[in-house]
Every structure is written in structure tokens, then in C-alpha cells.
Amino acid sequence: MSLTLYLHPLASFCHKVLIAFYENNLAFQPVTVDLMDPESAAQLRAKWPVGKIPVLYDAECDRAVPETSIIIEYVQRHYPGPVRLLPDDPDEQLDARLWDRFFDLYVSVPMQKIVVDRIKPEDGRDPKGVADAQAALDTAYAMIDAQIAGKTWAIGEQFTIADCSAAPGLFYASIVHPFDAKHQHLSAYFERLLARPSMQRTLREARPFFHLFPYRDAMPHRFLAD
């Protein structure tokens, strides 16, 4: 097996890559990284000194591939499967890349701001930053609701890299800052993402780590039980 993925089963950006891999039944070796463990962290930094996960290592060509979108595109190019996560049409590729970045930057990033703030000591918290992140999510939710109207997936009828990004970002965001009831298209899209077998597998593997999630008390029971 030439592919090794350095990850943590709780991390949303790792979920994005796992969903892509599971969509195509890709053979790979997962390695869980504990950044608090010097030996585990050193193993990751030997491949990618930035020290962020996920990182894919391809032993066949001795190449480390960081960054979620690059990992997914690399695998599609060198280890293609039946589900093409980047469309063949050039304009549709741009749409897929656009919404991939949208979900990363405007859903996952503000969601992480809210999560990290809860971990901080009381005197180190940033209420203004959290309020700004919540407002950013409100804007993103409205834009997604409009984008997804009349579509099955983020850019149309094909499941793409954009949906791989959307699934984990919306999963955690829906817990820390729930959707407004008026966003019916977004809510229906989220349910379709949850029903996707690749997402279900990813969440099953994450479940033993949910006790580490600082908003676990707000997680709906259906996310905690098989």
C-alpha cells in the first residue's frame, strides 16, 4: 500500500479527505496524529514541517501532498476511481473549486473559531470574534441556501469535491451555530450529505472521539448513537 494519510478522526478537514477517499474505495493506511505527543508530531513534521493535518504521503514516488483540495485532486489524477470529484467540463471544474473553497473558508474556518474559543480559559476568550464568526456563518448559510435550490449537490447533480468540503463543515457548524429554519434548501442538502455512505462511515470512525469535542453537550443524539 503506497498511500499513507496522516490525520485525526475528529478533525473536519481530515473528514473532507476521508469522504473523498471513501467515495472511491481508495486503499490507504491511516495514521492518527497526536500533536501533543512529540514523537507523533515529529513523524508528521518530517513529512510536512508546517505540522498541519491532513497530509498524504505517497511512498511510490516519495512525495508528501498537503492541503485537502490538493490531496483530493492528486488522488483523482494518480489513483482515479469511479466517482470523479472534479467534473470533466472546465467551467464545472471552476464551480466545484469555487464552492470547495467557499465551504472551507466561509463555513469551516468560522466554525473552528467558535469551537476553539470555547476551549480557551475564560479570561482569554474573544466574544467579538465569536460574534463575527456567527455572523459569517449566517451569511454563508443564506448563500448556500440560494445556491442549492433546485440542485441535489453543491453545483448540480454530480457529487464533487465541493460536497466533500461541505459535509464536515456543515456537520460541525450545525452544532455550534444551528441553521435558521428559513434555510430549508440548506437543511435538506445537509440531510442528503448525512445520508451519503462515505459521510456515515467517516462519522462512525469519529464517534469514539466525540467526547473531545467541546460542544459535545449540544450534539444531537442521532450523531452520538449508531
What mean pLDDT, rounded, does the chain reach? 96
Q: What per-residue confidence (pLDDT) applies to 226?
A: 65
Q: What per-residue confidence (pLDDT) applies to 225?
A: 74
Q: What per-residue confidence (pLDDT) applies to 87?
A: 95
Sequence-separated (6 or more) residues with CB below 8 Å from residue 19: 163, 164, 167, 168, 196, 198, 199, 202
pTM of the model: 0.96
Q: What per-residue confidence (pLDDT) applies to 224?
A: 85
Burial class (CB in 10 A: 0-12, 13-18, 19+), 197: exposed
* pLDDT, mean of residues 121-134: 95
3-state secondary structure of 4: strand
